[in-house]
Amino acid sequence: MDLSLSEEQTLIRESARDFLENECPEEHVRAMEEDEAGYSPDLWKKMAELGWQGLMIPEEHGGSGFSYLDLCVLVEEFGRALVPGPFIPNATCAAWLVIAGSDAQKAKYLPGIASGTAIHTYAVTEETGRWDRGGYALTAAADGDGYVLNGTKLFVPDANVADYLHVIANTPDGRLANFIIARDQAGVEVNLLKTIASDKQAEVVLNNVSVSAEDVMPVDSETSMRGRNIAVNLENAYLVGLAQKDFEIAVNYAKERVQFGRPIGSFQAIQHKAADMVTDVDGMRFITYKAAWATSENEPSQNMDTSMAKAWCSEASRRVVAHGQQIHGGIGFTKDYIIQLYFRRQKRAELFWGDADFHREQVAAMLEI
């Protein structure tokens, strides 16, 4: 069985790694923690010139027409480099438009995403913190031919710089829908939250926000699950890249750090941690790409594959970054060392779109037990 990347995917990975090593070094990641916007418009523009924002957008809408699996290969490199900014939620919203948007919605929004001139993000979770239908209490009220939204969404990524928000809410008749609103329209309030990752997550308060019927994407159960899978597997791919780099940093440190007259990597306890780390990373990669392939091909197994992958990746990546900290010892928790950047950002991706326990519940439900 050949599990290797295709020639195109290998090129995506290699070119992305080279670019991000030059354009998104550790110094840039640290600077964006203190930056008000949390991302670099210059870097965003350069990525758009490479076609990354439009990677899986069809060519007729200004994109490159690559597959969702190709996008996951790219996002793995984003995890490796800890790229700050709205790329993942923006790519998620683009994919939602591709699979569920009307022709008019695609024509209206996709060209802006592909060119990098418009940033989209999603507003999903509420006070329950759940990432499923049971957590979506926000219900739109009918208003003539359109709707009005009132309520609060939490942990909205990069809402401070987004041009459009994809608000997941219920229609008056109880159906789920994606309401696309402009961030700067009347009634939208964005309040940044403090997080362990020092990223830009926000509380978004909606006060009588009007939405035209043309900007509503009805979502049936099948489309809802595929949309979820798209979002979840991008987080999984990010975690794979993050864990891989964390492992490499820790192993290099174990080879260089001398204690008791010998490199600490020569001690069995450290060797076992390194062995556990690489085992977890490889397991994450295989289960993630299995789920990403199933989602890309719209296979019947995609829901189960995706939840299994997120349950595994959430916990495996947590083990990896914990081992990385322990190999470094107390010094690893100081901000002078890069390893703590990976530890803090792992927690965000572990929780986004459901943690391990949440996805175990999903798997159990699909097993009908």
* Residue 153 β-bridge partners: 204
Instruction: Give percent of the chain with pLDDT exceeding 90.
Output: 95
Please, which pLDDT band fits residue 40 given cuts at 50, 70 and 90?
Answer: very high
The C-alpha atoms of residue 24 and residue 29 are separated, in whole angstroms, by: 7
Q: Write down the pLDDT at residue 220.
A: 87
Indicate if the pLDDT at residue 172 is higher than 70: yes
Indicate if the pLDDT at residue 169 is higher than 90: yes
The C-alpha atoms of residue 204 and residue 266 are separated, in whole angstroms, by: 51
The answer to whether 320 and 240 have CB atoms below 8 angstroms apart is no
Phi, psi of 145 (to 5 degrees): -85, -5
Q: Write down the pLDDT at residue 242.
A: 99
How do strand 262-263 and strand 176-182 relate by DSSP bridges? unpaired
Q: Write down the pLDDT at residue 133.
A: 86
Q: Write down the pLDDT at residue 1.
A: 63
Mean pLDDT of the chain: 97
* Residue 217 β-bridge partners: 178
Indicate if the pLDDT at residue 286 is higher than 90: yes
The CA-based angle 26-28-33, given to 5 degrees, is 100
Q: Write down the pLDDT at residue 350.
A: 98
Structure tokens at 266: 């020569």
Q: How many domains does the chain have?
A: 3
In this structure, of 57-61, 87-91, 328-332, the range with the lowest mean pLDDT score is: 328-332
Residue 41 counted as domain residue: yes
The answer to whether 250 and 277 have CB atoms below 8 angstroms apart is yes
Structure tokens at 43: 């870097």
Q: Write down the pLDDT at residue 322.
A: 98
Q: Are residues 16 and 86 in the same domain?
A: yes
Q: Are residues 208 and 163 in the same domain?
A: yes
The C-alpha atoms of residue 196 and residue 356 are separated, in whole angstroms, by: 19
The C-alpha atoms of residue 279 and residue 209 are separated, in whole angstroms, by: 49
The H-assigned helical ranges of 257-301 are 268-296
Indicate if the pLDDT at residue 185 is higher than 90: yes
Query: Using the 8-state DSSP alphabet, how is residue 208 labeled?
Result: E
Residue type, 211: V
The answer to whether 258 and 264 have CB atoms below 8 angstroms apart is yes
Domain span holding position 100: 7-117
Domain end point (choices 196, 219, 242) = 219
Please, which pLDDT band fits residue 194 given cuts at 50, 70 and 90?
Answer: very high
The answer to whether 238 and 79 have CB atoms below 8 angstroms apart is yes
Domain end point (choices 195, 219, 243) = 219
The C-alpha atoms of residue 302 and residue 95 are separated, in whole angstroms, by: 16
The CA-based angle 66-69-71, given to 5 degrees, is 65
Per residue in 133-143, pLDDT (tens digit) is 889 999 999 99
Per residue in 106-118, pLDDT (tens digit) is 999 999 999 999 9
Q: Are residues 235 and 265 in the same domain?
A: yes
Continuous segment of H or E residues that includes residue 41: helix 41-49
Q: Are residues 107 and 208 in the same domain?
A: no
Higher pLDDT, 280 or 330: 280
Domain end point (choices 176, 195, 219) = 219
Q: Are residues 59 and 138 in the same domain?
A: no
Over residues 263-272, the mean pLDDT reads 97
Over residues 112-132, the mean pLDDT reads 96
Residue 287 counted as domain residue: yes
Per residue in 250-259, pLDDT (tens digit) is 999 999 999 9
Indicate if the pLDDT at residue 30 is higher than 70: yes
